[in-house]
């Protein structure tokens, strides 16, 4: 579990480092608030994404399943600033090994609630699906804005960063991959 007391102490030091007046009323509870916030934002570190994928018994659907543009918020591990956008995830079950749609969303949420880079988050989601469901294939596309590019660094707001991870049949079969891409593009 997250050590809230340690985060609180650490953030108090950050405020001191900034030359802030820790006794002013607006800041009095801020270190505790940040500790609570971080416990939530980084809770995925203590969760096992594979365990969130439960199998639905007795099905025989072996066609494409797509969860389109699921919103997510994550934190860039380089600057501890948010990156946020949406994730599209697809898989084609094998022998009916399907999972719940909300379980797919929980996998995204678990990986998002860690200090991350977008590329790793993308491949971790795809690998988790491949390892847990052993589907015919899986594909994950993330599109996000990084506040470390918008507020600082490049200082160019609104630049979408797109990453994809392609596994199994989506890698081998261009037609299947194309079918998914047109499904994702359609409104």
Ligand X SMILES: Nc1nc2c(ncn2[C@@H]2O[C@H](COP(=O)(O)OP(=O)(O)OP(=O)(O)O)[C@@H](O)[C@H]2O)c(=O)[nH]1
Q: Indicate which of ligand X, Zn ion, none lies near residue 118 (CB less than 5 to 8 Å, by partner kind).
A: ligand X
Mark 69-88 with x for binding to ligand X (rule: CB under 6 A) and - for no binding. Answer: -------x-x----------
Region class of 19: left (phi > 0), else alpha (psi between -120 and 50), else beta: left
Residue 76, annotated ligand binder?
Answer: yes
- Per rule CB under 6 A, is residue 56 in the interface with ligand X? no
Residue closer to ligand X by CB (options 149, 180) is 149
- Give the nearest residue (CB) to ligand X: 153
Residue 79, annotated ligand binder?
Answer: yes
The binding site for Zn ion (CB under 5 A) comprises: 76, 78-79, 148
The residues binding ligand X (CB under 6 A) are 76, 78, 117-119, 146, 148-149, 153
């Amino acid at each position: 579990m997250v050590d809230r007391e340690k985060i609180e102490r650490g953030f108090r030091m950050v405020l001191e480092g900034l030359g802030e007046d820790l006794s002013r009323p607006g800041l009095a509870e801020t270190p505790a608030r940040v500790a609570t916030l971080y416990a939530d934002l980084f809770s995925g570190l203590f969760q096992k994404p594979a365990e969130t994928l439960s199998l639905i018994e007795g099905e025989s659907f072996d066609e494409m399943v797509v969860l389109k543009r699921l919103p997510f918020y994550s934190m860039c591990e380089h600057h501890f600033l948010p990156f946020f956008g949406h994730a599209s995830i697809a898989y084609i079950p094998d022998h009916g090994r399907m999972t719940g749609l909300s379980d797919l969303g929980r996998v995204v949420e678990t990986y998002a609630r860690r200090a991350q880079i977008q590329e790793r988050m993308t491949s971790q989601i795809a690998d988790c699906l491949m390892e847990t469901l052993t589907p015919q294939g899986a594909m994950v596309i993330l599109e996000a804005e990084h506040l470390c590019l918008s507020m600082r660094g490049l200082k160019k707001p609104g630049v979408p960063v797109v990453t994809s991870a392609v596994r199994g049949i989506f890698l081998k079969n261009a037609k299947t991959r194309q079918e998914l891409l047109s499904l994702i593009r359609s409104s």
